[in-house]
Amino acid sequence: MLLKLIPDNTTIGFTRMRFIALIFSALLVVGSLIAIFTLGFNFGVDFKGGVTIEVADDQPIDIGEVRSIVSDLNLGSVDVQRIQDFAGADEAVLIRISQQEAEGEDESAGETAQQQASLAVQDALRELLGDGVDFRKVDVVGPTVSGELVQKGALAVALAIGMMLIYIWLRFEWQFSLGAIVALIHDVIITLGMFAVTRLEFNLAIIAAILTIVGYSMNDTVVVYDRVRENLRKFKQKPLAELLDVSINDTLTRTIMTSGTTMLALIALVIFGGEVLRGFTLAMIWGIVIGTYSSIFVASPFLLATGVKRDWSKAVPVGA
């Protein structure tokens, strides 16, 4: 093997660090929950409704003029920022307009108000920049749709965790199942807390990132658990703490290689992917770090706390 990041026969004592990891994880989870309930999320147009327009031109765009002309339309809160595309061009501008108040209680009135605001902004930009202006993306989300997206996004994450629970319960003993789900919930809460603290825009792409993180974390945990189960059958007399260390060290090369190669792709997206993909890629990078950590320091030590079946007929005492 030409590339070897981790030497053979490593003997890192991961279980000896489990109490420090427990305190660290508890602080992260509690801090994340406090941030989520006190700060909330910086919801994007997907979840709070409104209009997002990405506009580009052959000539440099004066962002001050764009902000002025859009603000003159009296459409409420307006956010205008310069963005970069994959080619590194800086002529693109992203405009976000808050959800428009609709007259009457008809649900379709809210959708119509968003459409009218979008058309008004596009007409104003054509007048400012000329007919050659390129509207790369126009997203219009009404209040009804945004409310449904919030519910469906939360349901998607809950269903993903639930299906993972069923899968792991059928494949492993109950101790493994609970350990995997505890690690998953740990990862999701800390990732949500990161978004609450950093105020990065929370949109549908972030839901996709969270679902990807759930799958990645579960995959990493299952690899470690497979080796633990194999070693439980192989080493009948080895203490459980030592056996867990052996199993984690056995899979450490695979874990580092998988995480490292994925991180390389995500770092490239952060640098060259532009503003639109930045939140998604940052969420993925954070999730991979947390997912790898939880597989080693949350899911595996959980087996030590609950005990697992060594000969599949009687449980191993805690601390054996």
**Per-domain residue ranges for the chain?**
14-43+146-306, 50-141
**Chain center to CA of 218:** 14
Average pLDDT, rounded, for the chain: 78
Position 157 confidence tier, pLDDT thresholds 50, 70, 90: confident
pLDDT at 35: 93
pLDDT at 37 over 70: yes
The more confident residue out of 150 and 292 is 292
Residue in 97, 287, 279, 94 with CA at minimum distance from that of residue 205:
279
Q: Write the single-letter amino acid at 12.
A: I
Position 247 confidence tier, pLDDT thresholds 50, 70, 90: confident
pLDDT at 96 over 50: yes
For the domain made up of 50-141, give the CATH fold.
Answer: Alpha-Beta Plaits (3.30.70)
Position 197 confidence tier, pLDDT thresholds 50, 70, 90: very high
pLDDT at 301 over 80: yes
Q: Which strands sit side by side in the sheet containing 134-141, from one edge to the other?
A: 78-83, 92-98, 50-56, 134-141
Phi-psi group of 312: left, alpha or beta (phi > 0 → left; psi -120 to 50 → alpha; rest → beta):
left
pLDDT at 318 over 70: no
CATH number of the domain at 14-43+146-306, out of 1.20.1640.10, 1.10.10.10, 1.10.357.10, 3.40.50.410? 1.20.1640.10
pTM for this predicted structure: 0.74
pLDDT at 32 over 90: yes
Q: How far apart are CA 132 and CA 123, in angstroms?
A: 12
pLDDT at 292 over 70: yes
pLDDT at 317 over 50: no
* 241-258 mean pLDDT: 84
* 161-175 mean pLDDT: 78
The more confident residue out of 121 and 28 is 28
